[in-house]
């Protein structure tokens, strides 16, 4: 299964300001989700953001919201966003069936949302470098459980380059120039 931008949606679950500081790898999760969110918006991939009890946990991390100004925000009381009727109905009506999911806590809200997505027949892609919990072993267990249930583990780079699909054309050049930073000492040449 390969990600396609016209079939995909990026779902960022509960990366909230009051929660991120106590999450093992929380800053990295926000950074990776923000980076991929910026790429997604540039490629017209919808970005949906959930918040669990924002009165108690605060709103979404400011860095994330700055990176995805066109996001769609969902408040929820269920741990699984799929248990919120408005969310599930909107997703069904979106025409998007590949869901790249990330956020916190991996073993609670991300896991339960991911399982709900799988139960509803969606393709689920677990964004490993942007999904975390207070304890790393809980995040690892959640990832293992999701993969056993049928989710596909991916990195932010994997998703971005699958959405881009090719290295020629103005779309690639524009996105690459603004978002895709080479990880090597010298610039990468893809074409």
Q: 172 to each of 2, 9, 40, 177, 179, how far by Cα in Å? A: 18, 19, 12, 8, 10
Mean per-residue pLDDT of the chain:
92
Give all domains of the chain, ordered by start, each with its CATH number: 8-178 (3.40.50.850)
Q: pTM of the entire structure?
A: 0.93
Which pLDDT score is estimated for 65? 96
Q: How do residues 153-177 score in pLDDT, each as one tens digit?
A: 999 999 999 999 988 888 888 787 7
Decide: residue 36, CB within 10 A, 0-12 exposed, 13-18 middle, 19+ buried: buried
Residue 181 confidence class, pLDDT cut points 50, 70, 90: low
| Residue 182 scores a pLDDT above 90 | no
Residue range 102-122: mean pLDDT, rounded: 98
Residues 27-35: what's their mean pLDDT?
95
């Amino acid at each position: 299964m390969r990600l396609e931008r016209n079939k995909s949606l990026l779902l960022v679950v509960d990366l909230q300001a009051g929660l991120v500081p106590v999450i093992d790898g929380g800053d990295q999760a926000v950074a990776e989700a923000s980076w991929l969110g910026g790429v997604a918006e540039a490629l017209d991939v919808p970005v949906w953001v959930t918040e669990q009890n924002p009165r108690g946990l605060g709103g979404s991390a400011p860095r994330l919201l700055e990176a995805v100004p066109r996001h769609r925000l969902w408040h929820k009381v269920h741990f699984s966003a799929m248990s919120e009727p408005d969310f599930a109905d909107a997703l069904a009506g979106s025409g998007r069936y590949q869901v790249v999911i990330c956020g916190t806590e991996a073993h609670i809200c991300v896991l339960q949302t991911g399982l709900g997505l799988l139960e509803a027949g969606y393709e689920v892609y677990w964004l490993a470098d942007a999904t975390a919990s207070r304890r790393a072993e809980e995040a690892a267990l959640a990832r293992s459980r999701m993969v056993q249930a049928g989710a596909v583990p991916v990195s932010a780079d994997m998703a971005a380059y699958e959405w881009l699909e090719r290295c020629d054309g103005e779309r690639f050049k524009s996105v690459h120039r603004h978002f895709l930073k080479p990880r090597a000492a010298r610039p990468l040449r893809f074409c």
